Amino acid sequence: MTTTRPIARARALLAALAAVAVTAVGLAGAVGAQAVDTCRVEWATNAWPGGFVTEARLTTGPARSGWTLTFDLAPGARVGNAWSATATQSGATVTVTNAPWNGALAAGATVSFGFQGTSTSTPTPPADVRLDGVPCDGQGGSTGTPTPTPTPSATPTVTATPTPSVTPTPSVTPTPTVTPTPTVTPTPTPVPGTCSGAFCDGFEQQTGTTPAAPWTVVHPDCSGTGTASIDSAVARTGTRSLRVNGAVGYCNHVFVRADGAVAGTAGQPTYLRFWVRHTTPLPTSHVTFMALQDAADGGKDLRMGGQNGALQWNRASDDATLPEQSPAGVALSRPLPTGQWACVEALVDPAGRLTTWLDGTQVTGLVADGTPTHDVDGQWLAKAWTPRLVDLRLGWESYGDGADTLWYDDVVVGTSRTGC
């Protein structure tokens, strides 16, 4: 049979269209295959009746200069405040956007953030997790698999690198290490150095196991299993110290407030000095072991503790940290040694300066000197800060994971540096 030219042209055109269609299907398949980000989100939630705190660790796929994570919470769950990120909620969907200091991430980098909220039901792992609008193909994805919950508990034990440095130190080593300190050896009293006009207490006047005046046990917001007591078995000097058994979880916090401790430094630079001994390396999650209420910052706390295994300051009003929680910033801080007494000193200046010493050595990452420095105090100095301290509290609070047992001794507050 003979085929006319018009029919031949039509067949050729149909063949070409078919080829284009096949190519389009192939491209659509390729795009669909790529529309899943190789991100991973691990969730650690601590819940109590009516509320919860969640710590999240986001590991990204490709590098990016900023990120937005969306996910759905269980019915009845509402996000309140967040830290190291900005969180908003519409219906069940929560949108978390990076903070100014943790938006730029290298390929495969990990960033931590957290949020506190209320709930009318038992919290479940977030579902339909998307990074920059693309579903995550790792844990915490659209299936809302609950298995990531225990993962964060294992992860911090790996990152708590301070352990090797203190493992060789036997429990009895701290006593000979600190005994030569000239400010305390000349006298058996626990009051070190000369601190005329300052608040000085080594807990030697405490006669029972429950802290008494000038100390008061307090449980801000809620109370759980954290406890505080006077310990006559462990002391740096004298025969007594303050012992705090800090449990995991926001509501398990416990603090002992020193009434009138900062009254004598009102309007002046405040120097704080205390010795602390603890048993567990600082975890990856945020923890606090000293809090100072700041009347000039909405009554919110200036908090000293740790995160990512190293010491840090945290300002509760805007969740700013010192140093910034970047790898470079954390590296400029120091871990708090375990199994031995450590001397912690701080200067809080009404002009906004903040300086910290550990065992007599200034810690570079814990200094806010008024000039913003990237990875150190750039975030801290993003707002005007003129602290006016109201009280001093020693204790323990964790916001994700991390339990610890701590002892405090030889506490001094004054307008000049006492030293170690």
pLDDT digits (tens, 9 = 90+) for 72-103: 999 999 997 787 888 999 999 999 999 877 88
Tokens of 361: 């050595």
pLDDT digits (tens, 9 = 90+) for 200-227: 999 999 999 999 999 999 987 787 889 9
> DSSP of 339-360, one letter per residue?
SS-EEEEEEE-TTS-EEEEETT
E-strand ranges in 167-300 read: 199-201, 215-218, 227-231, 241-246, 254-258, 270-278, 287-293
Query: Reduced to 3 states, what is the DSSP secondary structure of residue 381?
Result: helix
CATH code of 158-414, in short, is: 2.60.120.200
Tell me, rounded to whole angstroms, the distance of Cα 324 from its chain centroid: 11
Higher pLDDT, 178 or 412: 412
The 3-class SS string of 110-144 reads EEEEEEEEEECCCCCCCEEEEECCEEECCCCCCCC
pLDDT digits (tens, 9 = 90+) for 271-305: 999 999 999 999 999 999 999 999 999 999 999 99
Higher pLDDT, 194 or 7: 194
Q: Do domains 40-149 and 158-414 have the same CATH topology?
A: no
Residue 102 DSSP class: S
pLDDT digits (tens, 9 = 90+) for 146-173: 333 333 333 333 333 343 343 444 443 3
pLDDT digits (tens, 9 = 90+) for 5-56: 443 443 443 333 333 333 333 323 333 334 456 788 988 887 777 778 788 8
- Give the whole-angstrom CA distance, residue 395 versus residue 144: 36
CATH of 40-149, one of 2.60.15.10, 3.40.50.1110, 3.40.50.2300, 2.60.40.290: 2.60.40.290
Residue 368 DSSP class: B
- Residue 417 neighbours by CB under 8 Å, 6+ apart: 271, 273, 345, 347
Each domain of the chain, given as residue ranges in start order, spans 40-149, 158-414
71-85, 234-248, 385-399: lowest mean pLDDT where? Answer: 71-85
- Give the whole-angstrom CA distance, residue 201 versus residue 211: 12
Average pLDDT over residues 332-358: 95
For the cut 90, the answer to whether the pLDDT of residue 354 exceeds it is yes
- Give the whole-angstrom CA distance, residue 149 versus residue 44: 5
